[in-house]
């Protein structure tokens, strides 16, 4: 691509690819605001719904190794178009699902389709930008993508109330088709790379070796918990906590989740700015994740009879406290794009796709494993215990990250 950094020709492809990440966030957070009617319609419990939606993350994680190979070998444009076609197919399957089996299949297809919606713009930026500037742009890309969570808050709550949960998937499918048309128009075709290329198996092994190696170990450990807590709260348990535990209506819960989503949109941009000005990625990542974990423990403690409620001398903390804590959680956890920035700085540009895929594999493997684990945790101790569990996991991830990166500062 022969455009100058910062020109309109450079910004447009990144923005359009960021819209794909927006759709990814929309479809994976849709169950949070429609969990009650979705579970009822499919004939499953809340814990069963957690297992069904967890399949999305397992499929997403499974797609990372071939994705990293494909991005470095074939380029961003063809990979993005293929993935958007899968997303469109998955939304149709979800909208037409008649039971748990059909919805499970839809989640698998959506997980595979969405597996590269963040990595496509990240890989393009990694190949065009210096490591110092990648941090700012990774935050901007993440912020654009998190608009999908904005759409799945109050707007989706209204749509579910009016038309049912299936309408959310039909809208998502239409958006995927529209973004594919924009990608075909705005994202340039990759430059020919005749090789020689290693074998596909060798490339796949390289992705795994990068993820297991010392250079990326700290980022991989932190990534395992980092996205899991976002999707666990925003994508599944946030809605039930506000509606079932705190007694809000669906629209009221959507408003509270909207505040969290605004933090998740603004936070990555702020993270990129802080990275440019301070340059202390390790410290910023540790502080942000620690604050996020503590905020979730406070949310859980503010439930009926919770330790924080007892400490405050009230039966239950008001919803305003939940709104403030969830907003703080969103701002703090939004530091996570710097994980990609640390990853980009650790490898040469020609291995950027594989390295980013290795870390993204941990992001979504963690989301799959920890979200599945919240099902039995919630069954044993309620929604509050599931949220507290997620808070504890991100604190553990922070400690492991600090231990694995202490020699590199």
- Is the previous residue joined to 59 through a cis bond, with omega within 30 degrees of 0? no
- 36-78 pLDDT tens trace: 788 888 888 877 887 788 788 788 878 877 887 788 778 889 9
* Rounded mean pLDDT, 219-236: 89
Q: Quick one: pLDDT band at residue 307, thresholds 50, 70, 90?
A: very high
Taking Cα atoms as reference points, which of 331, 142, 375, 360 lies closest to residue 236?
375
Asked if 368 and 233 touch (Cβ cutoff 8 Å), the reply is: no
* Rounded mean pLDDT, 85-93: 95
pLDDT (0 to 100) of residue 142: 78
Give domain 8-187+200-405's CATH number out of 1.20.1250.20, 1.10.3720.10, 1.10.260.40, 2.40.128.690: 1.20.1250.20
Domains in the chain: boundaries: 8-187+200-405
Q: Quick one: pLDDT band at residue 28, thresholds 50, 70, 90?
A: confident
Q: 4-18, 255-269, 316-330: lowest mean pLDDT where?
A: 4-18
Say yes or no to pLDDT of 407 above 60: no
């Amino acid at each position: 691509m022969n455009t100058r950094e910062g020109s309109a020709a450079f910004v447009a492809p990144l923005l359009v690819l960021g819209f794909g990440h927006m759709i990814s966030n929309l479809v994976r957070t849709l169950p949070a605001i429609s969990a009650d009617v979705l579970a009822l319609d499919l004939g499953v419990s809340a814990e069963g719904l957690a297992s069904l939606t967890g399949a999305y993350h397992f499929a997403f994680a499974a797609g990372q190794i071939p994705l990293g190979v494909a991005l470095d070998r074939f380029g961003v444009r063809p990979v993005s178009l293929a993935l958007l076609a899968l997303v469109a197919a998955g939304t149709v399957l979800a909208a037409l699902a008649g039971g748990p089996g059909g919805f499970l299949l839809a989640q698998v297809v959506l997980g595979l389709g969405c597996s590269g919606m963040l990595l496509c713009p990240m890989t393009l930026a990694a190949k065009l930008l210096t490591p110092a500037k990648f941090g700012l742009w990774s935050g901007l890309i993440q912020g654009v993508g998190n608009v999908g969570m904005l759409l799945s808050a109050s707007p989706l709550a209204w749509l579910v109330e009016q038309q049912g949960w299936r309408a959310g998937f039909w809208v998502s499918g239409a958006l995927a088709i529209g973004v594919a048309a924009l990608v075909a128009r705005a994202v340039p075709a990759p430059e020919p790379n005749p090789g020689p290329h290693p074998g596909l198996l060798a490339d796949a092994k390289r992705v795994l070796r990068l993820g297991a190696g010392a250079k990326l170990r700290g980022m991989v450990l932190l990534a395992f918990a980092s996205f899991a807590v976002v999707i666990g709260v925003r994508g599944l348990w946030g809605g039930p906590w506000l509606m079932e535990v705190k007694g809000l209506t669906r629209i009221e819960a959507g408003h509270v989740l909207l505040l969290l989503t605004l933090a998740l949109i603004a936070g990555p941009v702020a993270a990129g700015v802080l990275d440019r000005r301070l340059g202390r990625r390790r410290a910023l990542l540790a502080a942000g994740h620690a604050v996020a974990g503590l905020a979730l423990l406070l949310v859980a403690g503010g439930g009926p009879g919770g330790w924080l409620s007892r400490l405050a001398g009230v039966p239950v903390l008001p919803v305003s406290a939940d709104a403030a804590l969830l907003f703080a959680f969103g701002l703090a956890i939004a530091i996570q794009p710097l994980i990609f920035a640390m990853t980009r700085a650790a490898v040469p540009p020609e291995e950027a796709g594989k390295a980013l895929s290795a870390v993204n594999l941990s992001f979504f493997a963690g989301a799959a494993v920890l979200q599945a684990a919240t099902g039995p945790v919630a069954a044993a101790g309620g929604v509050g215990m599931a949220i507290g569990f997620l808070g504890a996991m991100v604190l553990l991830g922070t400690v492991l990250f600090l231990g694995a990166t202490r020699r590199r500062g």
